[in-house]
């Protein structure tokens, strides 16, 4: 009888570690992405990523921690070394430093970016312009003016 819980735990752990084949283009392993918003602020960016986690995995993530979730979100966002402001079961706020090039005098260039999966919706927000992309794996580069005051 002591073997059954151990076997069950091992099976659940294997489900967490081995990425499942994506059924949908917006799914990676046990994560299904709903949408993504990228806020550009001077040379930095904040990404708000909304997703859902397969029901059978939610308990495992709660029990075993969010390190695997964090790793998978890094692959999905295309920023594996990013910092996380928040990471929950349905939303993450990802902080990206020096993502845009500073051309001086308050002007910046956000280079094109490729995600790890197809995103159902991406909104790219700068202080001047918002761009929306549907069902895409990448966004185009964009110039914008920052919010820093010229000193």
Mean pLDDT of 53-79: 94
Q: What percent of the chain has pLDDT over 90?
A: 77
Give the pLDDT confidence score for residue 15 in this predicted structure.
55
Give the pLDDT confidence score for residue 9 in this predicted structure.
61
Report the SS3 class of residue 71. Answer: helix
pLDDT exceeds cutoff 90 at 103: yes
Average pLDDT, the chain: 88
Q: Are 60 and 15 in contact (CB under 8 A)?
A: yes
Question: pTM for this one?
Answer: 0.82
Give the pLDDT confidence score for residue 7 in this predicted structure.
60
Top mean-pLDDT range of 3-7, 20-24, 146-150: 146-150
pLDDT exceeds cutoff 50 at 22: no
Cα dist from 137 to 5, 10, 19, 27, whole Å: 41, 34, 19, 12
């Amino acid at each position: 009888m002591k073997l059954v819980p151990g076997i069950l735990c091992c099976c659940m752990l294997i489900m967490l570690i081995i990425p499942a084949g994506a059924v949908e283009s917006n799914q990676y392993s046990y994560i299904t992405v709903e949408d993504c918003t990228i806020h550009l602020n001077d040379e930095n960016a904040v990404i708000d990523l909304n997703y859902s986690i397969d029901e059978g995995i939610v308990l495992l993530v709660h029990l075993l921690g969010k390190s695997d979730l964090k790793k998978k979100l890094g692959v999905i966002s295309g920023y594996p070394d990013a910092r996380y402001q928040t990471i929950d079961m349905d939303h993450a706020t990802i902080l990206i430093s020096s993502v845009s090039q500073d051309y001086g005098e308050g002007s910046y260039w956000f280079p094109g970016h490729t995600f790890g999966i197809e995103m159902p919706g991406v909104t790219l927000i700068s202080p001047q312009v918002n761009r929306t992309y549907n069902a895409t794996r990448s966004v185009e580069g964009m110039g914008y003016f920052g919010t820093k005051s010229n000193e």
